[in-house]
Amino acid sequence: MNIWFSAKKYEPSSINKVSHFYCYVLFFRLTLKNQSTSRDLKVISTKQLYYALALEKTLHFKRAAENCNISQSALSTALSELEKQLGLQIFERDNKKVLLTPVGKEVLDKARSIILQVGELEQLANGRQSPLSFPICVGVIPTIAPYLLPKLFPLLEQHYPDAQLNIVEEQSHVLVDLVKRGEIDTAILAMPFPCDGLLALEFWQEDFYWVALKGDKYTNNKEITSNELTHSKLMLLKEGHCLKDHILAACKLPEQTANHGFGATSLNTLVQMVLGKMGTTLIPKMALEQLTLQNETLSAVHLNEPSPHRRIACIIRPNYTRMSSIEALMQLCKKAL
């Protein structure tokens, strides 16, 4: 089993063999201002389109060439040939900078759609094979990744030893955009979260637990209510993390109830702040064992509010073709949790 982690660089797993496909520039018959004549265009390779999209992402020839594993001169030649074939300028470039032209943006929007469709064609063929037998790129949010992945990987090794996973850890809004653009196959998110145009396949539910130092008020209780939480110095993740929104929604608490000038970027930081006597926090059940059970000075009390407090789902594009791999992945996630 091969696993790769990526924080900032995303390469669609579906276009590993994209250079073997060719598409006709019929897709590129754009209606341009001040241009009413059409021209006969040569066949353009999807490799050229992929290179153009790589440059769009970085606006830097050296970095784009490195991402494509080719030389700068090869990249420049391929893009010049693409512009010549189209009869228009996609990029403005000089010795200092690279800019995308307005018509170039139109072209690359079309190119992105074509690359995605080519990838789906390949996925359709791959989908006939056994689940997880081809590379798959999976996004996971930070409040799930550290607590799910260490349990998931041994199961993957056991059931699908040939599985090849590329893991991207990012916040929910970033992962939703990457799924929509076809840059990753799926993302594991906590719901509810806006995913317009995508399918959310729920596979897990869980509740929140209040974490405080032993001896604090309510730590001897079996459960704690939202009312009682207002009497504790509650610390949550900073803005941008959906877990904060899910906790406030589950507790029906206003935003000003939490943080008191402090906003963490990880659950581990919140627990360390609790150990430092800075306040209390709420964490999801999947994080309990790793963050609290090994520390005898902490207590975890179940939040007594309507369950489930958050739902876990895989999000995919509606026309995604490798459903057997997603279903296999969700089954293993359920076993891990």
Whether the bond between 12 and the residue before it is cis, its omega within 30 degrees of 0, is no
pTM score over 0.75: no
> What pLDDT does residue 128 have?
57
Burial class (CB within 10 angstroms; exposed 0-12, middle 13-18, buried 19+) of 194: exposed
Q: Give the pLDDT confidence score for residue 253 in this predicted structure.
A: 83
With tokens 């939040």, the residue in question is 303
Q: What pairing do the DSSP bridges indicate for beta strands 98-100 and 91-93?
A: antiparallel
> Residue 309 is encoded by which pair of tokens?
């407090």
What pLDDT, on the 0 to 100 scale, is given for residue 6? 66
Encode burial over 229-266: b for 16+ CB neighbours within 10 A, e otherwise.
beebbbbbbeeebbbbbbbbebbebeeebbbeeebbee
CATH class of 208-306: alpha beta
- CATH level 3 topology of 136-202+317-336: D-Maltodextrin-Binding Protein; domain 2 (3.40.190)
Spans in the chain with pLDDT lower than 50: 8-39
Q: Rounded to 5 degrees, what are φ and ψ at 84?
A: -65, -45
Residue 209 sits at φ, ψ, to 5 deg, of -130, 135
Please indicate whether the domains covering 17-126 and 136-202+317-336 agree at the CATH topology level.
Answer: no
pLDDT at res. 322: 84
Q: Under CATH, what is the fold of the domain 17-126?
A: Arc Repressor Mutant, subunit A (1.10.10)
For residue 132, how many other CB atoms are within 10 A of its CB? 23
Domain ranges of the chain: 17-126, 136-202+317-336, 208-306
